[in-house]
Amino acid sequence: MEIHISRSAVENNFNLIRKIVGENVRISSVVKANAYGHGIESYVPVARGSGIDHFSVFSYNEALQVYKIVKKSADIMVMGWIDSSQISDAVKKGIEFYIFNIERLEIALSDAKALKKPANIHLEVETGMNRTGFSKKDFKQALKIISDNKKHFKIKGLCSHLAGPESIANHVRVKNQIKFFNTFKSELEKQNLAAEYSHLACSAAAVCYPGSRHNLVRIGIMQYGFWSSREVFLRYLNNKTGYNNPLQRVITWKSEVMSTKTVKTGKFISYGTTYLATEDIKTAVVPVGYSFGYSRSLSNRGRVLINGVRCSVIGLVNMNMITIDVTRAGDVKPGDEVIIIGEQNDMAISVDSFSEITQQINYEILSRLSRDIPRIVVK
Ligand SMILES: *Cc1c(COP(=O)(O)O)cnc(C)c1O
């Protein structure tokens, strides 16, 4: 079983993203959650090869994984969790991190002082997501602290996060956030401070809200070849002829047939009684299960490709195995290729087709792909 990462698809996707956001906007590749399941170790060098020199992660542990690969050749930004005890190491390595409250700012200050090296910080401000970030009042206090300790900080960024730009239902809220963000920018200037970057756009905002791009965008899902939502794709198509999807899926997930069997009519398949053979059928067992990220909710509903034929998962998805009905897939033998996500002949199984069955969004499906599956970079 393996996951293939397509280098040419990554290249294609970044070319498209560059075309959308323009030359003057820096692209940060968001590689949290093990690069959305693609595998940090495999994916980061590929993105680096496409000219990407800025990576965003959620946690400091992820930052260290990226750092091991890129060293000083790219900027690394922690958008979320960094333990207080790790801040000193981040300052030492020049790894950038979000500051979202006064407590964190004080810790960064004392570590920067002790190391005699400025902390590379991004000031996260609260614009309406109501998750993390400085309120206006705390922001003013933070700027005072920074002004009094200028040499201990490099303000790499002023940033915020939008609460759902992938859906028009959130339009008013998102618009207000983008407007409110600019008032924080003015406040910074009023204090004679400047941030190297200001950023609040994720993939959906980068496409749908040009005013949110500023000089850096944080691109996650799109680089992997998926639109944040159908709506975002339609917004992109606006004014274009045809329905060509210019993004290319980067991931292919494949396995092979482990063993085959004939099951007589009237017999149950796998645990329990959820699937009864109503005719003599031929089954193939594939070594993929929920422990690898193949959701149990795909029991009796999932599809895979074998011999270029779309075949059904029958019975419950087990921890490590699924059973497939291959009665109509011709001469299926152990060792035959099984496509779980990807293409075979002219058939395809998309990540979206999973989402339709399981109610999981593609973000969730991808990020749950087990780290144990080997990732292989292909052309
Ligand atoms: C995950 C994340 C992104 C990227 O979002 P996509 O929709 O995948 O582009 C951007 N910013 C923050 C703060 C995030 O957590």
Give the model confidence (pLDDT) of 126-175 as tens digits: 999 999 999 999 999 999 999 999 999 999 999 999 999 999 999 999 99
Q: How confident is the model at residue 28 (pLDDT cuts 50, 70, 90)?
A: very high
pLDDT of residue 243: 83
CA of 107 from ligand 1 middle (Å) equals 26
Whether residue 191 contacts residue 147, with contact meaning beta carbons closer than 8 Å, is answered with yes
Would you call 271 a catalytic residue per the annotation?
Answer: yes
Cβ(298)–Cβ(272) below 8 Å: no
Atom of ligand 1 nearest to the CA of 228: 7
Probe target for ligand 1 pocket from 202, 219, 232, 250, with the most ligand atoms within 8 Å of CB: 202
Cβ atoms of 197 and 161 within 8 Å: the answer is: no
Q: Using pLDDT thresholds of 50, 70 and 90, give the confidence band for residue 233.
A: very high
* Any atom of ligand 1 within 6 Å of the Cβ of 207: no
Q: Is the pLDDT of residue 242 over 90?
A: no
pLDDT at 260 over 90: yes
Residue 61 Cα to ligand 1 midpoint, Å, equals 18
Model confidence at 359: pLDDT above 80: no
- pLDDT tens-digit series, residues 168-227: 999 999 999 999 999 999 999 999 999 999 999 999 999 999 999 999 999 999 999 999
Q: Cα–Cα distances in Å, from 200 out to 135, 175, 216, 225, 284?
A: 16, 12, 8, 21, 48
Centre of ligand 1 from the C-alpha of residue 277, in Å: 45
Q: Tell me, using a 6 A CB cutoff, whether residue 218 lines ligand 1.
A: yes
Ligand 1 geometric centre to CA of 79 (Å): 9
What atom of ligand 1 comes closest to residue 36's alpha carbon?
8
Task: Enter the tokens of residue 204.
Answer: 């959906």
Cβ neighbours around 129 below 10 Å, total? 17
Q: Which residues belong to CATH 3.20.20.10 in the chain? A: 7-237
- Is the pLDDT reported for residue 377 higher than 90? yes
Closest C-alpha residue for ligand 1 atom 3:
202
Q: Is 220 in the pocket of ligand 1 (CB under 6 A)?
A: yes
**How far apart are the CA of 236 and the centre of ligand 1, in A?**
18
The per-residue pLDDT for 357 is: 79
Mutate which of 56, 81, 235 to test ligand 1's pocket (most atoms within 8 Å of Cβ)? 56
Q: Regarding predicted confidence, which is higher, 354 or 65?
A: 65
Is the minimum distance from the CB of 133 to ligand 1 under 6 angstroms? no
| C-alpha distances out from residue 6 to 13, 189, 282, Å | 11, 43, 33
Query: Of these residues, 32, 197, 209, 236, which one is catalytic?
Result: 32
**Residue 164 Cβ contacting ligand 1 at under 6 Å:** no
pLDDT number for residue 240: 84
Q: Are 88 and 114 in contact (CB under 8 A)?
A: yes
Fold exhibited by the domain 7-237? TIM Barrel (3.20.20)
Looking up tokens 């990732």, which residue turns up? 375
* CA-nearest residue, atom 10 of ligand 1: 202
> Is residue 79 within 6 Å of ligand 1 at its C-beta?
yes
pLDDT computed for residue 361 by the predictor: 83
3-state SS of 162-182? Answer: CCCCCCHHHHHHHHHHHHHHH
Are 116 and 99 in contact, with CB atoms under 8 Å apart? no
The class level of CATH for 251-378 reads mainly beta
pLDDT value at residue 355? 80
Average pLDDT over residues 89-115: 98
Ligand 1 binding pocket includes 217 (Cβ within 6 Å) = no
Range(s) of the chain covered by CATH 2.40.37.10 = 251-378
Residue in the structure block whose two tokens are 């979320």: 80
pLDDT reported for residue 25 = 98
> What is the Å distance from ligand 1's center to 219 Cα?
6
Q: If pLDDT is split at 50, 70 and 90, which confidence band does 354 have?
A: confident
Q: Which amino acid is residue 132, in one-letter code?
A: T
Whether residue 20 is predicted with pLDDT greater than 90 in this model: the reply is yes
Tell me the CA–centroid distance for residue 218 and ligand 1, in Å.
Answer: 6
Measured CA to CA, the distance from residue 109 to residue 153 in angstroms comes to 8
The reported pLDDT for the residue numbered 341 is 96
Does ligand 1 have an atom closer than 6 angstroms to the CB of 156?
no
> Which tens digit of pLDDT belongs to each residue from 283-338?
999 999 999 999 999 999 999 999 999 999 999 999 999 999 999 999 999 999 99
Let me know if 290 is a catalytic residue.
no
pLDDT per position as a tens digit, 60-75: 999 999 999 999 999 9
